[in-house]
Amino acid sequence: MGLRILVVDDHEPVRRSITSILPKRSDWQVCREASNGMEAVTRAKALRPDAVLMDVSMPVMDGLQATREVRKHLPNAKIVLVSQNDPAVVRQQPIQVRVDACVEKDKLTEHLIHSVAQLFPEATAEPTDPATKSPGEEEFAWLQGGGKMGELIRDTDWTRTPLGAAPSWSPALRMIVRFLLANRFPQLLWWGPEFCSIYNDA
């Protein structure tokens, strides 16, 4: 059936960002989302996912407490902490939890798929044909979807702007652009001393 993943984060733009990255693997599917730790425990028990991508700081029940609860019912599920904090700091939290991997939020595009794939060695990597990718697709491999503005961003020659070539953009800028484009509410980003503007379809 493929890998079934539960995505847990209290911020919808983060969940959207994660769910836009995972379809790069056609054999993986997001079976459900949860917006807090209590929901995560309930849905994990009902759905029995293979992996849980767990935010740390959430209302109702934080990710560390939720991880402990999920472990009681699904000892074999793989749990990946997704945090703004340094993974080393997360692992040293007073509440001892056993997690299988940690991914920093500003490095989701670069590390998420690899981190999850390493936990399931029986699942072979999908072959990719470099000839099928255009230079623009390679340059913006971190940016999926985003409607018309997403297309415009991928089609723009950013070397002609103060932001420079897209591969040189900082992880923080990439993360904000992904979240902004995934948001249904009108959002505008001014970046840098020149106030370069990036906004979403809304």
**Cβ–Cβ under 8 Å, residues 63 and 39:** no
Asked whether the predicted pLDDT for residue 79 surpasses 90, the reply is yes
Angle at 57 between CA 4 and CA 77, to 5 degrees: 25
Q: Is this model's pTM higher than 0.75 or not?
A: no
Give me the pLDDT at residue 37, please: 95
Q: Is the pLDDT assigned to residue 125 strictly greater than 70? A: no
Is 3-118 assigned to CATH 3.40.50.2300? Answer: yes
| Domain assignments of the chain as residue spans, ordered by start | 3-118, 132-199
pLDDT reading at 128 higher than 70: no
Query: How far, in Å, CA of 50 to CA of 145, rounded?
Result: 26
Average pLDDT score over residue span 54-78: 92
* List of residues 6+ apart from 128 with CB closer than 8 A: none
Tokens of 130: 């470099």
Q: Which amino acid appears at position 198 of this protein?
A: I
| 104: DSSP letter | E
67 band by pLDDT with thresholds 50, 70 and 90 = very high
DSSP-derived letter for residue 106 is G
Cα–Cα distance for residue pair 8/41, rounded to 1 Å:
10
